[in-house]
Chains A and B, each alone.
Chain A
Amino acid sequence: MDVILEIKNLNKHFDGIYVSKNIILKIFKGSLTAIIGPNGAGKTSLFNLISGYIEKDSGKIYFQGMDISDKKPENIASMGIVRAFQVANFFPDETVYDNVLVASISLFKKSTNFLADKYSFKNIREHTDMILKNLNLFEKRDLKASELSHGDQKILDIAMALTLSPKVLLLDEPTAGMSPDERKSMVKVIKELHKKFNLTTLFIEHDMDVVFGIAEIIRVMVRGEIIAEGTAEEIRNNPMVIESYLGKEV
């Protein structure tokens, strides 16, 4: 299997508190990996580092063999590492359709076209419709994004990420704050997307049912360190993980 994303000796601290401590990570093409860990472990920070949002102290990040450690976030995104956010991140005043449209405009490199009608591109329209249909947002396309339910806003955020046809998708707690029903459908969506597009997916998650339900590989992060990695079975039985994170839960 090919390694698509490789992190070597990544370090980052805020005021002496490490959020990434000598992180070494290999992500294989087409894999579905979960990252779990207690609050404040540095999971979101790891995504921030990969996506170029914050600067690392030291270490390297390789994407398809290319060093991307010093690239700007927009370049990393257009290269194919795309993220969705822990708190749904979208354009509140726009319709659902136009939210996804912005992402399509970016994908088809039309963002500086200033005289054509934004709805006039057939390929952009088709792509946008396809994404909306895949994520069950098509019926809601004319609603203002701020009027969606919390769960749908998370889905919209993910829809925008998917629109960019990512090579690696980073999902930060995709089911956070959702109702059990929304959770179930989100799990289904992630599974389907992963299968349909053979999409390399990394997701952060607190809900153990979700994690054990879909992840192929689980990595456990505590205080900036990855303390364990393995299949659901291995993680469940790892004494270190039980002690530091899972506790009495399992």
Chain B
Amino acid sequence: MNRLRELFPWSVIIIAFLLILFLPVSEHKVHLTTRILIFGLYAIAFNILFGMTGLLSLGSALFYGFGAYVTGMMTKSFGGDYFIYLLLFGAFSCFILAVPLGLLCLRLTDVYFTMLTFAFGQLAWGACIKLYYFTGGDDGIQGIPRMAILESTKSYYLFVFLVVFLSLIILWKISKSPFGQVLNGIRQNRNRITFLGLNVYKHQFLAFLISAFFTGLSGGLYSGLDGSIHPNMFFWTQSGSIILMVILGGINSFFGPLIGSIIFILLEDYIGKTTEYWPFFLGTIMLIIVILFPKGILGTISNFIKGFSSKREIGNGCHS
């Protein structure tokens, strides 16, 4: 029963996202769904820090942008054939960059951590614009090539799906691991974790590295999508929209951020086409959703289902 329930969301994801490949949908829709997947990965990676560990970073775009630029710039100079390796290399670079940044930012707690991540994110954005000869400054970089087999929109979509799906399995495993349990403990009561003999800083730091790796991976995937990257990928509003997605979908459920990404991207696309005041409408709709679903859409739904079936469950535990 529990196995089945665990497999359910995965089957929905596989069916829903692969079905699109066989439907007669426009290139634009496939492109949109690719973005949903990329931001879904980004949002879930972000939520390892936020929803699990209780660390609100306003600088996640730093790793998103850095992953995108490392992968994008190197693919441009080495050629599209190396894209897959450079994608991993970009993610790994973020992991390395997260070492000093994590050590520093995590020295601070709560809102001070948030402010410091914000500062570093903006610093990276500024540097990206200023280093004109290296990064192309405001213009960003265009014409990043793709591997021959990933040429078509659909094949790239399939590739992104596979990478995101694999990443989600790893992140899912992490969330169910002893390490994940400790992160949940840190969020709820870091003091208690300390007195259980565990070093809060160390575990937060590891969470920071993991989150940076997968955020960088999502950035790299984006660099291959349009073959174009720009400094705004580092900008704090990018970090901000990820926070919105995560809150929309529900911070306490693993797949919540993916739902948030779907809603956010679809809304942005639809409203963006209809009116030029889209940020205003987007904001209003978000507000309504957050008020109607205080625990996020998935959080509220799963609470509802749990309330329905909880009576039957007490006493037949899943651990023994």
A82 is an interface residue with CB less than 8 A from chain B: yes
Selecting from A104-112, A178-186, A237-245, the interface stretch reads A104-112
Judge whether B197 and A113 touch: CB under 8 Å.
no
B191 is an interface residue with CB less than 8 A from chain A: yes
The answer to whether residues A160 and B196 also contact, given A92-B189, A111-B182 and a CB cut-off of 8 A, is yes
**Interface members, chain A 64-115 (any B CB < 8 Å):** 72-75, 77-78, 82-83, 89-94, 97-98, 101-103, 105-107, 110-115
Partner of B192, one of A75, A98, A160: A160
B188 is an interface residue with CB less than 8 A from chain A: yes
Nearest CB on A from B114, distance (A) = 22
Instruction: Name the B residues within 8 Å of A110 (CB-CB).
Output: 178
The answer to whether residues A83 and B195 also contact, given A90-B189, A125-B319 and a CB cut-off of 8 A, is yes
B198 is an interface residue with CB less than 8 A from chain A: yes
Judge whether A89 and B191 touch: CB under 8 Å.
yes
Instruction: Name the A residues within 8 Å of B206 (CB-CB).
Output: 112, 114
Judge whether A90 and B192 touch: CB under 8 Å.
yes
Instruction: Name the A residues within 8 Å of B182 (CB-CB).
Output: 102, 105-106, 111
Interface flags for B160-188 (1: CB within 8 Å of A; 0: not) read 00000000001001101111111011001
Partner of B176, one of A77, A91, A117: A117
Interface of B is mostly: helix
Q: Which residue from chain B places its CB closest to the CB of A90 in the assembled complex?
A: B192
A199 is an interface residue with CB less than 8 A from chain B: no
Judge whether A101 and B181 touch: CB under 8 Å.
yes
Nearest CB on B from A154, distance (A) = 14
A191 is an interface residue with CB less than 8 A from chain B: no
Instruction: Name the B residues within 8 Å of A78 (CB-CB).
Output: 197
A51 is an interface residue with CB less than 8 A from chain B: yes
Judge whether B189 and A118 touch: CB under 8 Å.
no
B193 is an interface residue with CB less than 8 A from chain A: yes
Partner of A77, one of B170, B180, B194, B320: B194
Bound complex: CA of A83 vs CA of B182, how far in Å? 19
A119 is an interface residue with CB less than 8 A from chain B: yes
Instruction: Name the A residues within 8 Å of B225 (CB-CB).
Output: none
Instruction: Name the B residues within 8 Å of A125 (CB-CB).
Output: 319-320
Judge whether A111 and B179 touch: CB under 8 Å.
yes
Q: Which residue from chain A places its CB closest to the CB of B199 in the assembled complex?
A: A74
Instruction: Name the A residues within 8 Å of B179 (CB-CB).
Output: 111-114
B313 is an interface residue with CB less than 8 A from chain A: yes
Bound complex: CA of A53 vs CA of B191, how far in Å? 10
Instruction: Name the B residues within 8 Å of A141 (CB-CB).
Output: 317, 319
**Interface members, chain B 281-320 (any A CB < 8 Å):** 313-320
**Interface members, chain A 108-136 (any B CB < 8 Å):** 110-119, 121, 124-125, 128-129
Number of interface residues of A (CB under 8 A): 46
Bound complex: CA of A104 vs CA of B192, how far in Å? 13
Judge whether B177 and A113 touch: CB under 8 Å.
yes
A142 is an interface residue with CB less than 8 A from chain B: yes
Bound complex: CA of A159 vs CA of B22, how far in Å? 55
Instruction: Name the B residues within 8 Å of A91 (CB-CB).
Output: 184-185, 188-189, 192
Partner of B193, one of A102, A119, A142, A161: A102
Instruction: Name the B residues within 8 Å of A161 (CB-CB).
Output: 195
Instruction: Name the A residues within 8 Å of B44 (CB-CB).
Output: none
Q: Which residue from chain B places its CB closest to the CB of A51 in the assembled complex?
A: B195
Partner of A142, one of B176, B191, B200, B313: B313
Bound complex: CA of A132 vs CA of B150, how far in Å? 54
Judge whether B181 and A106 touch: CB under 8 Å.
no
Judge whether B197 and A89 touch: CB under 8 Å.
no
Report which residue of B178, B192, B196 has the largest number of chain A beta carbons within 10 angstroms of its beta carbon: B178
Q: Which residue from chain A places its CB closest to the CB of B195 in the assembled complex?
A: A77
Bound complex: CA of A78 vs CA of B173, how far in Å? 27
Bound complex: CA of A73 vs CA of B179, how far in Å? 20
Judge whether B203 and A111 touch: CB under 8 Å.
yes
Judge whether B181 and A93 touch: CB under 8 Å.
no
A164 is an interface residue with CB less than 8 A from chain B: yes
Bound complex: CA of A117 vs CA of B179, how far in Å? 10
A246 is an interface residue with CB less than 8 A from chain B: no
The answer to whether residues A118 and B178 also contact, given A89-B191, A91-B188, A142-B315 and a CB cut-off of 8 A, is yes
Bound complex: CA of A91 vs CA of B189, how far in Å? 6
Bound complex: CA of A112 vs CA of B174, how far in Å? 10
B55 is an interface residue with CB less than 8 A from chain A: no
With A93-B184, A118-B180, A141-B317 already in contact, 16 other A-B pairs whose C-beta atoms are closer than 8 Å: A74-B195, A83-B195, A89-B191, A91-B185, A92-B189, A94-B184, A98-B184, A102-B181, A106-B182, A110-B178, A118-B181, A121-B178, A128-B319, A142-B313, A142-B314, A164-B196
Which residues of A are interface residues toward B (Cβ below 8 A)? 51, 53, 72-75, 77-78, 82-83, 89-94, 97-98, 101-103, 105-107, 110-119, 121, 124-125, 128-129, 139, 141-143, 160-161, 164
Top-10 shortest CB links A-B: A78-B197, A77-B197, A114-B179, A110-B178, A91-B188, A105-B178, A142-B317, A114-B177, A106-B196, A118-B178
